[in-house]
Chain A
Amino acid sequence: MTELSLRGLRKSFGGHEAIHGVDLDIPSGEFVVFVGPSGCGKSTLLRLIAGLEDISAGELSIDGAVVNALPPAKRGVAMVFQSYALYPHMTVFENIAFGLTLKRRDKAEVDRRVREVAATLELTELLERLPRELSGGQRQRVAIGRAIVRQPKVFLFDEPLSNLDASLRTQMRGEIANLHERLPDVTMIYVTHDQVEAMTLADRIVVLRDGRVEQVGRPLELYHQPANLFVAGFIGAPSMNFLAVQVSAAAEGGLACRFGEGLETTLPLGIGGAPEGVKTLGIRPEHLEEHPEGALAVTVERVENLGESHLVHARLPGGATLIARGSGAVEAKAGAKLRYALPPGHVHLFLEDGRSAAARQL
């Protein structure tokens, strides 16, 4: 059992603190994805776990033992780099074997293990090639092979797919998911800025911003119950619509929401605190329902027909913009008036400081 535990992990570069105290427990065999915008510290966090950067404060333990002072090789981790980091003058075989030969294993054993890994990654025919004679996807597979062959306890991926083109990315994503199934005991930590990779690969997602953890949870948990405005806006594409709102307790129960002149609706929702504290209402584009008596009367500005679905970019009378997604194509033209309803089960309410008000249906 390989349990990874981060306790108050901090990292400073010179006077600048990049990671502001991260606490996280990762059980054995879990696939964890660190996701966040550029500069959020996700790669730095991965490099702290790998041992490529010194930990400034806090504790990192693997299997219960603190490994802050251990060099990367002794932590039992293997890493796949964004740039593949293959040795350019070595063949695929040598690249995969290079990390193994050190341990004074006999040649036949090295040969057997390299070929075994090459077979699982469909690299057997490429073993004598140099990295520069390979395509991007093949290079990435070699990099993965080099990591697997060492039989690590923890597998680290640093944006492994971002140098690949879109179709190859989808294919490699599938291969990484298969890899995780084949190696159920190996903990995997995967850094990406691509939320599709995060949603599809992760057992749990860690959303980072400015060196802080914003939320940790299963992919659908983040989608359905974002803890704050940042996570709500980051997960999902197109992003969740945010509307400024004034809320008060309605006489008949529920919450009276006012979006500006003439736009008012009562939602059968309850929150823990005072309703007046709610400042923002969030609704995902795919959850807005076009309805003749909907609460939101909008003017269509632009329609994007994508074939299987469509996006309507619209504006509320107050000037706020709204994006709605529906299935199939739509006829509406710019300037058309539409009304959208807010299904109470999909409405998110946020307090002034951005935290979710944890609205529940009555």
Chain B
Amino acid sequence: MQGSELTRAKVRSALVFLAPMLLALALAAGWPLGRTLWFAFTDASLTDNGYSFIGFENFWNSEWGGLLEDGNWWQAVGNTLYFTFVSVALETVLGVGIALALDVPFRGRAIVRAAVLIPWAIPTVVSAKMWGWMLHDQFGLINDLGMSLGLLDQPVAWMANSATALTAIVAVDVWKTTPFMALLVLAALQMLPRDIYEAARIDGIHPVRVFFRVTLPLIRPALMVAVIFRGLDALRAFDLMYAMTANNESTMTMSVFARQQLVDFQDVGYGSAAAALLFVMVAVLTAAVLTLGRVRLTGGAR
């Protein structure tokens, strides 16, 4: 970099301030990531000490197929994508709705705003167990309510049934994470100038049209950031599924699959291969969304 003495001094001091963070990141994130990527190309296992480099055999080989021919893996990929798409879509729509409601001044708004955050504040494992009990086939609140309201003929084993288990998990995640979405959208809404809404009122523009033509375009940058955060979160979802259904194949996500290979089957190489592929998929999807959504994380989108 060319520049004056002053510029060079600024660059030097910036590096000094950044160094501890870069070091911490390298140790806490870089090293484990590098190790995982390395193990993905080995036959390492927790049951014996030696391991050797085997190239891409964990991903694909002619003997037993590898990850790319593993039906359970693709089921996990499918579950994860379904979970991500449906839960983030519902959370976005509900979050925007709740944020719009909370943006209107009313008595007790501060209390309601705080109360909305409760599901988000409860640890996932706690809310998973709580919902697990409410969804219990014999003693659960949901079945009891459904029966007494006449919505259900007989108790449903929500978590045991592969058709309903994933839907139930999506529902719990929506319940838990919508407040996060609502809060981010509310913050964006409160940044909007008030006077343009008064101008729209004077011009007699229908509120629905104002929402789609004015509010939505103006909060889009913040909304895209929230959706990306939530999407990344959902793609590596683990705790909710693991706490509610353990290793059930019908709800298994990519992270649960990787853990099962690594811990239950002690297959470090294969599990690392799954984790590496998960990492690549998340990276590619994020890049795709950022490009398609023309989002600049540092500033407004346009």
Pairing of A with B: yes
- Tell me the B181-219 residues at the A interface (CB within 8 Å): 193, 195-196, 198-206, 209, 213-214, 217-218
Contact A85 B204 (CB under 8 A): no
Chain B residue at minimum C-beta to C-beta distance from A76? B204
Contact A81 B199 (CB under 8 A): yes
Contact A89 B201 (CB under 8 A): no
Contact A83 B195 (CB under 8 A): yes
Contact B202 A73 (CB under 8 A): yes
- A50, A83, A84, A87: the one within 8 Å of B202 (CB): A50
> With A83-B193, A85-B193, A88-B218 in contact, do A99 and B205 touch (Cβ < 8 Å)?
yes
Contact B201 A72 (CB under 8 A): yes
Give every chain A residue within 8 A of B205 (Cβ-Cβ): 73, 98-99, 102
Rounded to whole Å, the gap between the CB of A199 and the closest CB of chain B is 27
Contact A81 B201 (CB under 8 A): no
**A88 to B193 alpha-carbon distance, docked (Å):** 10
Give every chain B residue within 8 A of A50 (Cβ-Cβ): 202
Give every chain A residue within 8 A of B201 (Cβ-Cβ): 51-52, 71-73
**A10 to B7 alpha-carbon distance, docked (Å):** 62
A interface majority secondary structure? loop
**A79 to B198 alpha-carbon distance, docked (Å):** 9
Give every chain B residue within 8 A of A84 (Cβ-Cβ): 195
Give every chain A residue within 8 A of B209 (Cβ-Cβ): 102
Interface size on A, residues (CB 8 A): 23
Does A86 reach chain B (CB closer than 8 Å)?
yes
Contact A73 B203 (CB under 8 A): yes
> What sequence of 0s and 1s flags, for each residue 57-73 of chain A, a beta carbon within 8 Å of any chain B beta carbon?
00000000000000111
Give every chain B residue within 8 A of A85 (Cβ-Cβ): 193, 195-196, 198-199
> With A85-B195, A85-B196 in contact, do A79 and B202 touch (Cβ < 8 Å)?
yes
B interface majority secondary structure? helix
Give every chain B residue within 8 A of A88 (Cβ-Cβ): 193, 196, 218
Rounded to whole Å, the gap between the CB of A277 and the closest CB of chain B is 47
**A125 to B196 alpha-carbon distance, docked (Å):** 24
Contact B193 A150 (CB under 8 A): no
Chain A residue at minimum C-beta to C-beta distance from B214? A87
Give every chain A residue within 8 A of B302 (Cβ-Cβ): 89
Give every chain B residue within 8 A of A74 (Cβ-Cβ): 204
Does A207 reach chain B (CB closer than 8 Å)?
no
**A299 to B218 alpha-carbon distance, docked (Å):** 63
Contact A87 B196 (CB under 8 A): yes
Does A148 reach chain B (CB closer than 8 Å)?
no
Give every chain A residue within 8 A of B206 (Cβ-Cβ): 102
Give every chain B residue within 8 A of A99 (Cβ-Cβ): 203-205
Give every chain A residue within 8 A of B213 (Cβ-Cβ): 98
Give every chain A residue within 8 A of B199 (Cβ-Cβ): 79, 81, 85, 146
Does A283 reach chain B (CB closer than 8 Å)?
no
**A102 to B209 alpha-carbon distance, docked (Å):** 9
Chain A residue at minimum C-beta to C-beta distance from B220? A89
> What sequence of 0s and 1s flags, for each residue 78-111 of chain A, a beta carbon within 8 Å of any chain B beta carbon?
1101011111110000000011001000000000
Does A314 reach chain B (CB closer than 8 Å)?
no
**A74 to B203 alpha-carbon distance, docked (Å):** 9
**A79 to B206 alpha-carbon distance, docked (Å):** 17
Give every chain A residue within 8 A of B204 (Cβ-Cβ): 71-74, 99, 102
Chain B residue at minimum C-beta to C-beta distance from A75? B202
Of B193, B203, B206, chain A has the most CB atoms within 10 Å of the CB of: B203
**A197 to B214 alpha-carbon distance, docked (Å):** 33
Rounded to whole Å, the gap between the CB of A45 and the closest CB of chain B is 15
**A88 to B221 alpha-carbon distance, docked (Å):** 14
Give every chain B residue within 8 A of A201 (Cβ-Cβ): none
Does A77 reach chain B (CB closer than 8 Å)?
yes
Rounded to whole Å, the gap between the CB of A134 and the closest CB of chain B is 15
Contact B202 A78 (CB under 8 A): yes
- B196, B198, B203: the one within 8 Å of A150 (CB): B203
Write the residues of chain A forming the contact surface with B, with a CB cutoff of 8 angstroms.
50-52, 71-74, 77-79, 81, 83-89, 98-99, 102, 146, 150
Q: Give 20 A-B contacts (CB < 8 Å), ordered by A residue.
A: A51-B201, A52-B198, A52-B202, A73-B204, A77-B202, A78-B203, A79-B198, A79-B199, A81-B195, A81-B198, A83-B195, A85-B199, A88-B193, A88-B218, A89-B217, A89-B302, A98-B205, A98-B213, A102-B203, A146-B203
Q: Which 5 residue pairs of A and B lie closest in terms of their CB atoms, listed nearest first?
A: A73-B204, A99-B203, A85-B195, A85-B199, A72-B202
